[in-house]
Amino acid sequence: MYYEVHTENIAARGHAPEIARILNRFALHRQDGEPVGYEKLATALLPEFGDDLMILEPTGDGDYRWLHFGCEIIRYSGASRLGKRLSEMRERVARFSIDSFDQALAEDRPLYTVHRSTQTVRVSLWERLVLPTTTRDGRRFIVAFSRPLQFREDLLNAVLESSPSGIVALRAIRDAAGTIEQAVVVTANRRASELSGRAEADLLDTDGRESLSFLSDPSVWRRCLYAIDLQRPDTLEVSFMREDATTWLRVAIAPLGDGLLLTLTDITDLTVANQTLQMRAATLALEIGRERATRRALSEEIGLREERETELRRLAETDPLTALLNRRSFTEKANAAIAASEAEGTGLAMIIVDLDHFKQVNDTYGHPAGDAVIRAFADLLLGQFRNERNLVGRFGGEEFGILLRDCDLASAAASARRIQDALLARAMPVSETLALKVTASLGVASRQAGEALASLTARADQALYRAKNEGRNRLGLADPLSVAEAA
């Protein structure tokens, strides 16, 4: 059974906003360390929060009896327990509840708990604020605010179970220092259980790193931790052995409170898609004149192949960290742009950008922070040069290239200065609480008639090196080629 018990930072842990307000009322009724009086607290809470409250009295034999059972709790649990004993619930839930109530009375302080429900209409997890009180005649009562933490409505169930992708929700379990020790599976659909090789019931309440084999990979686990800490989604591809064969998954990671939602898509077929589709296309081509249905099937198969090839081509052309063109793809497209520029008689310019002192960012704040700066700078470049005629690529590390069509040296230099101005005006976001100021050095070169890409890039690089040598955060303009050099 999944459960949590906390005595510290309750207001921050609670999902329902009422928890912080009820805690404040409880604190107001505690005087000089004396127990909180039941009568006064109940009078203060019941009118406003009574629909979500339970009141229980110890029976003297290790059990509790309900004296109040809020109507909202009845609506979600499907029945009233007023007057019944707590031990009549399922054994594990009853034992957990009795132990947490005993702890609250023994320590005379509030507790915050989370537990998985059983035999309820649509609730998966409940959160409780447990408050110890004492009546005027010395009896001890428990006042507990109880609210569903996670719902499983019919529509949500239908979506989960009909999804072709595996869906798994994980909740982080932290130690006293706030470090994540475990990521417990709180929800998993049938497809997720198939991909994991375990039954749905066997997945629930387990440590995700043990039940989902790909999470045991340290690099994958670190990506998950970054997603939680930075509250930033991520996507990665992983492989593992299943039934003596390699299975490939695309894993979409989305932060979900203090946890994660993983969407698992089987992409094994992509690795053999071309061979399979070629065989099918050859077979279907022989029958295309006989059956219209065959022609439609072939068309669908070809369309699927093109989609897959387009996706594979995009992945091959794109830098995975920034979604910019990688160097190989940038070079191919730049050569095509030069050919078009030569034919049209138009100008073309190159800007090479290198972030200054970037190693200090990695050494001081860590590589995840460095990656965040790289992504943020890439977003800045896309924002300034988002034009289908311009090319923006990542050459590697902290170096970027920009190819500008219909552009001379003066216009390119003005564009480069706008990059520097943008860096001066903003900090690169790393997390919700950290943003770093960075500068860049830039080299600008305008293409001469007949000049090849390698020469244009080399001149822009030389201009960049001069800017670096002159103190960084500078702009270097390349010297023009002589006629002989251009030839």
Give the 3-state secondary structure of residue 449: coil
- 56, 64 Cβ separation under 8 angstroms: yes
Q: How confident is the model at residue 181 (pLDDT cuts 50, 70, 90)?
A: confident
Residue 210 CA to residue 189 CA, distance in Å, equals 17
Chain centroid to CA 422: how far? Answer: 28
Q: Is 121 a residue whose pLDDT tops 60?
A: no
Nearest Cα to 422, choosing from 382, 472, 469? 382
Name the residue with tokens 């009568």: 39
For the beta carbon of residue 432, count every other beta carbon within 10 angstroms.
Answer: 10
Q: How confident is the model at residue 474 (pLDDT cuts 50, 70, 90)?
A: very high
pTM: 0.42
- The reported pLDDT for the residue numbered 71 is 93
Q: Is 379 a residue whose pLDDT tops 80?
A: yes
Average pLDDT over residues 75-83: 86
Residue 233 CA to residue 227 CA, distance in Å, equals 6
Residue 66 CA to residue 253 CA, distance in Å, equals 42
Q: How confident is the model at residue 271 (pLDDT cuts 50, 70, 90)?
A: low
Q: How far apart are the first and last CA of the chain?
A: 77
- Dump pLDDT digits (tens) for 424-445: 999 999 988 999 999 999 999 9
Mean pLDDT, the chain, integer: 87
Average pLDDT over residues 194-201: 77
Q: What is the DSSP string of 32-90?
A: TTPPPBHHHHHHHHHHHHGGGEEEEEE-SSS-EEEEEE-HHHHHHHSS--TT-BGGGS-
- Dump pLDDT digits (tens) for 291-349: 776 677 677 778 777 777 766 666 678 899 998 999 999 999 999 999 999 999 999 99
Q: Report the CATH number of the 154-266 domain.
A: 3.30.450.20
Q: Is 153 a residue whose pLDDT tops 60?
A: no
Give the right CATH number for 327-486 from 3.30.70.260, 3.20.20.70, 3.30.70.270, 3.30.2130.10: 3.30.70.270
**CATH top class, domain 3-150:** alpha beta
Give me the percent of the chain exceeding a pLDDT of 90: 55
The torsion angles phi and psi of 24, rounded to 5 degrees, stand at -65, -40
User: Tokens at residue 70, please?
Assistant: 């809020």
- The reported pLDDT for the residue numbered 484 is 44
Range scoring the smallest mean pLDDT among 275-289, 367-381, 467-481: 275-289
Q: Is 124 a residue whose pLDDT tops 80?
A: no
Residue 375 CA to residue 430 CA, distance in Å, equals 9
